[in-house]
Structure 1
Amino acid sequence: MAELVNSAHCFDSPAAIELIAALKEQQPESAKQAGYFVYHLDALKAHLAELQRQDVIKLWFAVKANPLSTIIQTLEGAGFNFDVASTGELSQVLKQGVAPERILNTGPAKSKAQITSFIDQGVNVFVAESLNQLIWLNEAAIESKVKPQVLLRVQLQWPEGDKNPLGGNSLTPFGLSVAQWQSIRVTDFPDIEICGLHIFQWGNMLSNEKMFSLWSQMVPPLKQLAEDIGMALKILDLGGGLGIDYLQQGATLSWPQILIDLAIIKQQAAVEELWLELGRFAVAECGYYIAPVVDRKVNYGQEQLVLAAGINHLLRPAITEQPFPVDLLRTSSHEKQLFDIHGPLCTSMDKLGKHALPADVSVHDPLIFGYCGAYGFTESMPFFLCHHIAAEYVFSQGKLIEVRASQPADWYLR
């Protein structure tokens, strides 16, 4: 875990200040004891509008980041398309009124049955991650009398590279090597339109320079692959990977610079369309998680706080060693000191980081975590030890609205 997270400027934007003031007045009684998520929809709309003020790239939302109904509806209203990687995500997106032609099916575990089901429901754009998937797509297209667009996912390797949860330079199940894809010819699959390539291996990137360097290195081998297999390369999908500065170290990305860089990449690749699939970069900053302190103690000179919920609601710190920034929900004039923050689970993994908080933090005080609009509740492990399921709320036009109430374990236990 990081030794210290400076959370001050995570909560000092006008939108955050507005939300925190409202939560001090409107905290829902039913969720206070269990922990809950809240999403600032007005702030999200403003952010999405800023992302869409460009004509360089086509934007998709990676639903895995946050599949909540109101989040999807807000993104749909902002003109985003949707990247779904499971039948459950597809069902959730369709239920929000999203047209199937605005949906892209990704993911390494697509079966022939899933592909057929997606086509039957109107999905017409797919990323093929294996030779089997390519064969199944062609077969399903013949059976359903449609001609879907297909992008081939490519996995490249670099001599050097950082490790990260998406894989980076390590071998993953995402896509195939250039050599493997070179074994096919586009003319072998006449019933699908193989029109693009997909490349995405780096997660939570925080350097414009490094992202541009990686993108630039990708272009030559991808263009060569397209030529080798007889593809007219019309679409290049660079996935996502745009990062959030969870550790509050000032390493933030410049969106205007990203657009400048991508315009260059688009020209270098000579493609008609350049795609990005945004997850955390689209929604992380609109979301917060609130949980009360259950206990405070000192162990071997280290102050510890135990919360009503931990990685059962926020798993990400345990698997990335990047804790969400946190602050005390109420005002305090006390100096800050370091606390180890733990959840209630009977495992040492249940730690949300080492954070500086006011020295007078006490039992029953609610803590508020930032950047929880992405990879929050649905990436958590809510069933372990049978604690309450987290509630989810949206904050819009000054009002807190319940989307899902907190639920006890007997809601799912049988």
Structure 2
Amino acid sequence: MTTPTWFDTTIENALINHKSPGDEHGYFVYQLEVLKAHLASLQQQDVIKLWFAVKANPLSKIIQTLDGAGFDFDVASAGELTQVLAQGIDPSRVLNTGPAKSKKQISSFVKQGVRTFVVESINQLNWLHEVVLEQELSSAETDMPKVLLRVQLQWHEGEKNPLGGNSLTPFGLSVSEWQNIHVDNYPALDLCGLHIFQWGNMLSNEKMFSLWSQMIPPLTELATSIGMKLKVLDLGGGLGIDYLGAGQTLSWPQVIEDLAIIKEKAGVEELWLELGRFAVAECGYYVVPVVDRKMNYDQEQLVLAAGINHLLRPAITEQPFPVQILREGFTSENATMQAFALHGPLCTSMDKLGHFDLPSDIAVGEQLVFGYCGAYGFTESMPFFLCHELAAEYVYQNGSLIQVRAAQPASSYLA
């Protein structure tokens, strides 16, 4: 294979020819046409309602594109809500998630028109009920907030995953804790569903279906025990991207086929997914130059202008973003390749972006392009350590790079 499957060569010339002194420490690019086509393919089904987890990429142009594709929006902070509403999204299309909702935040969300909530504690449930009564919302069904209770399940021994598995997390409550409440005690709320999400970056359809299937009995039993007519089941996200190029990819048609079975078995009217990386990862790239090359204990090392200060994910998951050199006419077949360790500029051994085969003649000043950076790139980075620059963000549309956010020096945020 001469070109990696994650790299769209239609953008290659634009990246090679892009010259901007402000971007010499790295920049992000998102292909909007590619994103539109991908989102359209996800919506060609009538089994599930799709939400976009804004945490994956809150850039205005990304939100606008998802809006146009018919997605609604999962927001987990006041900042995310502000950004979504600023794009003209009606608050009725917002789902409020997140483990740290104070009564003050809940009140603010309700005042701004948000009417769908995932509550993660009995406190949050009580606060939401109190807020609705205090604000004297109409008792009409259209004004009554829809509420989903987030449930944290225990899995079979050995079933571990990034969001907890059998480890205790702050996400939701156990079945036994939720059994202390009853729907009738919250007449101002429409307690209509359950939310469950305890996995991340899953790459096996069979594994996903097994997890979803295991959830149905305890969740339906919980709903019955607290007097809930289970209308909505929210399965969160966690659909994976093959960052390591291991050939493990999810089949979306199979996902839909499996979820149709889950929906029928659970007996719910609506099944929801909150997609993040699976919706936007493939549309994005990150470009950064090499600033040094050296041999160290028989290991070739490349030091880049930016590392985890722009791409933190490799340090916390040990799954690097895929990378290749930006060089006109390059293919792996016409170059001698060798192994390199990639590092960023931070004064910490954490600042490593992975080990990759790259051209043996790679030189200082040449640029690398990382893939799957449409999700968990810019806003998951840590630019403030060592007072580094904030990266620029571009969209690629109609054959041109269009700047959405200019690079910003440390002076823009230092006090």
- TMscore range, shorter length: over 0.9
Name the residue aligned to 1:143: 134
Change (3 A) 1:161 1:86: farther
Q: CA deviation at 1:161?
A: 4.2
Looking at structure 2, the residues matched to 230 and 121 of structure 1 have their Cα atoms a distance apart, in angstroms, of 30
Name the residue aligned to 2:400: 399
Runs of 4+ in 1 over 6 A off after TM superposition: none
SS of 1:140 mapped into structure 2: helix
Deviations 1:128-179 (Å, cap 9, x if unpaired)? 1000000001101111223211000000011234544322331100000000
Looking at structure 1, the residues matched to 159 and 341 of structure 2 have their Cα atoms a distance apart, in angstroms, of 28
Change (3 A) 1:320 1:267: same
SS of 1:122 mapped into structure 2: coil
> TM-score when scaled to structure 1?
0.96
Change (3 A) 1:32 1:91: closer
Name the residue aligned to 2:141: none
Looking at structure 1, the residues matched to 23 and 103 of structure 2 have their Cα atoms a distance apart, in angstroms, of 45
SS of 1:295 mapped into structure 2: strand
Give yes or no for the alignment of 1:19 onto 2:11: yes
Name the residue aligned to 1:44: 35
- Gaps in structure 1 of 5+ consecutive residues: 1-5
Q: CA deviation at 1:30?
A: 2.9
Name the residue aligned to 1:160: 157
Matched-pair identity in %: 70
Change (3 A) 1:265 1:192: same
Name the residue aligned to 2:362: 361
Q: CA deviation at 1:84?
A: 0.2
Kept in 1, the 8 Å contact 2:323–2:369? The answer is: yes
Change (3 A) 1:162 1:401: farther
Name the residue aligned to 1:290: 287
Give yes or no for the alignment of 1:258 onto 2:255: yes
Name the residue aligned to 2:67: 76
1:183 maps to a residue whose letter is N
- How many residue pairs get matched? 405
Kept in 2, the 8 Å contact 1:169–1:201? The answer is: no
Q: 1:10 aligns with which of 1, 5, 8?
A: 5
Give yes or no for the alignment of 1:411 onto 2:399: no
Name the residue aligned to 2:113: 122
Looking at structure 2, the residues matched to 164 and 343 of structure 1 have their Cα atoms a distance apart, in angstroms, of 28
Deviations 1:185-228 (Å, cap 9, x if unpaired)? 10011111100000000000000000000000001100000000
Looking at structure 2, the residues matched to 206 and 355 of structure 1 have their Cα atoms a distance apart, in angstroms, of 22
Where do residues 157-306 of structure 1 align in structure 2 (5 Å cutoff)? Answer: 157-306=154-303
Kept in 1, the 8 Å contact 2:23–2:391? The answer is: no
2:34 maps to a residue whose letter is A
Kept in 1, the 8 Å contact 2:6–2:282? The answer is: no
Q: Which moved more, 1:308-317 or 1:165-174?
A: 165-174
Name the residue aligned to 1:313: 310
Q: CA deviation at 1:29?
A: 1.2
1:73 maps to a residue whose letter is Q
Name the residue aligned to 1:3: none
Q: CA deviation at 1:22?
A: 2.0
Q: CA deviation at 1:24?
A: 1.7
Kept in 1, the 8 Å contact 2:314–2:353? The answer is: yes
Kept in 2, the 8 Å contact 1:155–1:175? The answer is: yes
Give yes or no for the alignment of 1:131 onto 2:122: yes
Q: CA deviation at 1:8?
A: 4.6
Change (3 A) 1:163 1:21: farther
Kept in 2, the 8 Å contact 1:7–1:248? The answer is: no
Looking at structure 2, the residues matched to 246 and 215 of structure 1 have their Cα atoms a distance apart, in angstroms, of 23
Q: CA deviation at 1:20?
A: 1.3
Looking at structure 2, the residues matched to 329 and 404 of structure 1 have their Cα atoms a distance apart, in angstroms, of 22
Q: CA deviation at 1:336?
A: 1.1
Name the residue aligned to 1:336: 337
SS of 2:386 mapped into structure 1: helix
Q: CA deviation at 1:397?
A: 1.0
Q: Which moved more, 1:100-109 or 1:161-170?
A: 161-170
Q: CA deviation at 1:7?
A: 9.9
Name the residue aligned to 1:62: 53
2:174 maps to a residue whose letter is S
- Gaps in structure 2 of 5+ consecutive residues: 138-143
Name the residue aligned to 1:378: 379
Looking at structure 1, the residues matched to 113 and 99 of structure 2 have their Cα atoms a distance apart, in angstroms, of 20
SS of 1:205 mapped into structure 2: coil
SS of 2:240 mapped into structure 1: coil
Kept in 1, the 8 Å contact 2:160–2:166? The answer is: yes
1:400 maps to a residue whose letter is L
